[in-house]
Structure 1
């Protein structure tokens, strides 16, 4: 696991829930590749409403259930490591939006609790 504190680069990939890579969800492939590349963190967020450049508004409202809700995959690591990962996104994301943001990371670690035996801080 990468321990990261200080300046970092966040990449946000905006895609659709129905986007696939070799018959599995595209967001799953992105997260697995980020993990394999040893990047510090990746999370997937499912939106309740949104639209892309050439598509209608997709929503999770009760009367108009969409099967293609917006998905945001967020990955954070050092700038060098994120930029080294970008060619994989070029291969995977054929429609969508990739956003790069400078950010600051503060990593919190668990503290040792003197009341419990055997627990250690990270």
Structure 2
């Protein structure tokens, strides 16, 4: 797969406790992206954050949170991102999605 030039970076901001059916939402999203042939996806777990309700979620010892922030990042073509958006929207109850242009300068498999 060749993925170079102007692409779209999608970031999906959710909570660690968010679910799709009985599975963690971030896992369900990554599996969907893989099944749909996306170039790749990465899940980043935050150590602190807050959302629209202004409730702080943190991993500090005195205040354990079972709902730390999670960001799922995907880079692919604008058309592919746009086509999958309705499915993502159906899977999410809360959270936020952002899109921005990303200039891909290198994407390839390692030499075997």
Question: What is the correspondence of 1:74-113 to structure 2 with a 5 Å cutoff?
Answer: 74-107=73-106, 109=108
* CA deviations over 1:56-101 (Å, ceiling 9, x no partner): 1000112111110000000110111111111111111110000011
In the alignment, what sits opposite 1:18? 17
C-alpha distance in 2 between matches for 1:110 and 1:41: 12
C-alpha distance in 1 between matches for 2:7 and 2:51: 27
> 1:110 deviation in Å?
6.9
Q: Which runs of 5+ in 2 are unaligned?
A: none
Cα RMSD (Å): 1.6
> 1:12 deviation in Å?
0.3
State whether residues 5 and 104 of structure 2, in contact with CA within 8 Å, keep that contact through their aligned partners in structure 1. Answer: yes
When normalised by structure 2's length, the TM-score is 0.92
Q: Which has the higher contact order (CA 8 A, sep 6+)?
A: 2
Count of equivalent residues:
112
C-alpha distance in 2 between matches for 1:108 and 1:81: 17
> 1:3 deviation in Å?
2.4
* CA deviations over 1:25-66 (Å, ceiling 9, x no partner): 000011011111111110000000001102510001121111
In the alignment, what sits opposite 2:53? 54
